[in-house]
Structure 1
């Protein structure tokens, strides 16, 4: 049903009383939504300012790597001190980690003392290992020497510094718990080394809590919804070449191939199209089954790099993969059943394509 177009074609008077029969109104036209125009302009100005600030001050690596207690981004070569290749976040004080996981505690894991390391420390089998803070002040070591010494300069400490270290106040902290690289953070495993703990106690160190809370506190932070969302966004940022190739160039190339095949293989093309579509759906579904761990032993793991096979850390991403695998299973079943149901229509399509090709 056609509505009144008087204000456009001139059959009815405009708001100022003028009319123009048989044509478009060309006089006395003006913007009447000045307020909204100002709001719209302000919106675009704010977007430009916000985008400029993001490009100048933002760092996409913050989606992947953590911050140390100084606010430096792990792996940032421009930080002070320089943290080039020191990409793993490690919490120095195990009691602070424990305290952050205690119910109703006001202490947050983000406030626990953390530094950036090359790899995650593990306890010694016959002595006590130490991880010391960045070499600064009275500690005359370069960052390179600090790394080469496995972050340990306990032997250079003064008696007063050694005493504060035994109180878990730094600058050196004992390595009591093994840790693994979970999404660029050193996840404590609540399985204290008996040898390291005995050495610590013999030296007069304060009591260290060995409860499972120390494991769960870090895992809860790494596995939070915000952290998972950051990792997804970081993955998208890293995969833009794949998106360009697989989302743009490859489909364009395959579409040309498909048109050529229609021209030369008319009779078989409907069947080839349906078969390839179903094969693709089945392949993608099986891929998700593999990554979800339901087929084979190639399930995704949040642990990065080599690690003890007996250490298992569960990630929220695995839940998401399994949900997608279930969804793909449903889509696969519907696709196969639909293909079977439209066999007669495929035969009709084949006849139509044959007739069309004969006319060319």
Structure 2
């Protein structure tokens, strides 16, 4: 007597064609390619170690907010002092900003004295406003009082402190120029307040340089490619509610609806799918047109909060949005024309979907099973995204080296003007961080392909069992847990290999062995 071999569950005729026997797997299947399985396990260990490095060294706040004169990240509640809600970076000394933008100067904006504020200060029409350093030393007011006083405690200064402030060495600095919140940096508007400037000159203050340079210098820093990239990464972290709803729950709900429609509306499904796809492409294209400013007045703006009607800021992101809008236009045209061209072939898809509808009807667990790998991927993506944000922001905050003669400032603790350690701070990245980021990105694709391949393998086994079964009553009503376990156990190395080669097994041509017989 002979028995069929293969991964097909069903009943097949014997060699003489007279009887039918249950199709079973006689081979003792086990995990092969153990060498690569070791590599795959090592990959997961490396992912955990790499992510741990990011969690230890990174701070996602660095991607969005700047640093103050103490090396603190604005908005960090763990900083000293507590900077929670103080998210805006403001450069208190306009002459340092001017100097950093001069062609013949070696002074950089990163070394200009900056402070974290709740909002961008503006000059007054009937006097002179001040922005003072964080209260410490002899200035015995709390941070909350400092904020309530609009960062001004000039009246509490000693004569020595006031004289130092008039030399633009602090601890208080005049608000001469209005400023606008551009990506959480207070960008100067090169339009000095006449009343504030006149009041400053009457007090005997140091001459303040008035030039468009103070505007362009800050804008150049905010609009740098590295700053734009950091903001894009930070936006992903800030948009987690949108990612959960639109990238997680909504696709899961729609996929279940799609499977149910295949089950009950087979004939209409190809046309509904093509129509909805084109509607989605057109809608996304129109959305980019709106944000690019080509339709309506809702173009993206780098200004955070209410804009200044007399001050227009152009951001690099607007160019990117317009480029994507053009790309989406091309994709939309190709999509619509392709849909028209394949209208006849869409009819062929109906017969394929009829088979799929029968499979879903017989093996109803097909509707539920994808939730398992979906949930596993969701957990993995949450961990991966958090680790990615920390990796992109990892590094050490160190004090810069600069010309100390241009950054002297009054120290409230030592009660004197300090020129020794007055340079600004920056985040120092080491070369291996770039390698860690690229490995993290590659690891995401590898893990994704592994989960997809594992899911596709289990589903393919069930569909093949149904498709090749000779009798309907031999079709299993649902998945068997031990069959899933045996599938993963037998193919885990191959699935890991396919993911590692950036090629899921669903991209490989299907191979179905025909039933073979063995003689006894």
Residues 136-183 of structure 1, C-alpha deviation per residue, up to 9 Å, x if partnerless?
222222211111111111122222221111111111111011111111
CA separation of 1:358 and 1:188: change in aligned 2, threshold 3 A: closer
Q: Which residue of 1 aligns with 2:309?
A: 309
Cα distance in 1 for partners of 2:267, 2:320 equals 41
Cα distance in 2 for partners of 1:154, 1:358 equals 81
Residues 265-297 of structure 1, C-alpha deviation per residue, up to 9 Å, x if partnerless?
233222211111110000000001111111111
Contact 2:289–2:322 (8 Å) recurs in 1: yes
Cα distance in 1 for partners of 2:353, 2:107 equals 71
Cα distance in 2 for partners of 1:77, 1:356 equals 55
Q: Which residue of 1 aligns with 2:247?
A: 247
Query: What are the within-5 Å matches in structure 2 for residues 220-231 of structure 1?
Result: 220-231=220-231
Q: Which residue of 2 aligns with 1:92?
A: 92
Is the counterpart of residue 291 in structure 1 residue 269 in structure 2?
A: no
Cα distance in 2 for partners of 1:263, 1:49 equals 45
Is the counterpart of residue 271 in structure 1 residue 271 in structure 2?
A: yes
Cα distance in 1 for partners of 2:278, 2:356 equals 26
Cα distance in 1 for partners of 2:93, 2:350 equals 72
1:44: Cα distance to partner?
Answer: 8.8
Q: Which residue of 2 aligns with 1:203?
A: 203
1:125: Cα distance to partner?
Answer: 1.4
Q: Which residue of 2 aligns with 1:144?
A: 144
SS in 2 for 1:201: helix
Q: Which residue of 1 aligns with 2:318?
A: 318
Contact 2:95–2:209 (8 Å) recurs in 1: yes
Deviates more, 1:67-76 or 1:152-161: 152-161
CA separation of 1:349 and 1:212: change in aligned 2, threshold 3 A: same
1:334: Cα distance to partner?
Answer: 0.7
CA separation of 1:47 and 1:106: change in aligned 2, threshold 3 A: farther
Question: How many residues were matched structurally?
Answer: 323
Q: Which runs of 5+ in 1 are unaligned?
A: 1-30, 32-36
Deviates more, 1:249-258 or 1:142-151: 249-258
1:92: Cα distance to partner?
Answer: 0.4
Q: Which residue of 1 aligns with 2:218?
A: 218
Is the counterpart of residue 262 in structure 1 residue 262 in structure 2?
A: yes
Q: Which residue of 1 aligns with 2:185?
A: 185
Is the counterpart of residue 235 in structure 1 residue 240 in structure 2?
A: no
Query: What are the within-5 Å matches in structure 2 for residues 1-360 of structure 1?
Result: 51-350=51-350
CA separation of 1:125 and 1:286: change in aligned 2, threshold 3 A: same
Contact 2:262–2:357 (8 Å) recurs in 1: no
SS in 2 for 1:86: coil
Residues 201-233 of structure 1, C-alpha deviation per residue, up to 9 Å, x if partnerless?
111111111111100111111111111111111
CA separation of 1:176 and 1:242: change in aligned 2, threshold 3 A: same
1:317: Cα distance to partner?
Answer: 1.0
CA separation of 1:355 and 1:60: change in aligned 2, threshold 3 A: closer
CA separation of 1:131 and 1:348: change in aligned 2, threshold 3 A: same
Residues 231-283 of structure 1, C-alpha deviation per residue, up to 9 Å, x if partnerless?
11111222334334433433232222112223322332222111111100000
Contact 2:262–2:356 (8 Å) recurs in 1: no
CA separation of 1:316 and 1:356: change in aligned 2, threshold 3 A: closer
Deviates more, 1:70-79 or 1:318-327: 70-79
Deviates more, 1:55-64 or 1:187-196: 55-64
Contact 2:263–2:357 (8 Å) recurs in 1: yes
Contact 2:176–2:193 (8 Å) recurs in 1: yes
Residues 78-111 of structure 1, C-alpha deviation per residue, up to 9 Å, x if partnerless?
2222212211111000000111111142111110
Cα distance in 1 for partners of 2:231, 2:210 equals 30
Higher relative contact order (CA 8 A, sep 6+): 2
Cα distance in 1 for partners of 2:244, 2:290 equals 25
Cα distance in 1 for partners of 2:96, 2:103 equals 13
- TM-score normalised by the chain length of structure 1: 0.82
Q: Which residue of 1 aligns with 2:393?
A: none
SS in 2 for 1:106: coil
SS in 1 for 2:328: helix
- TM-score normalised by the chain length of structure 2: 0.58
Cα distance in 2 for partners of 1:202, 1:187 equals 26
Deviates more, 1:90-99 or 1:56-65: 56-65
CA separation of 1:266 and 1:44: change in aligned 2, threshold 3 A: closer
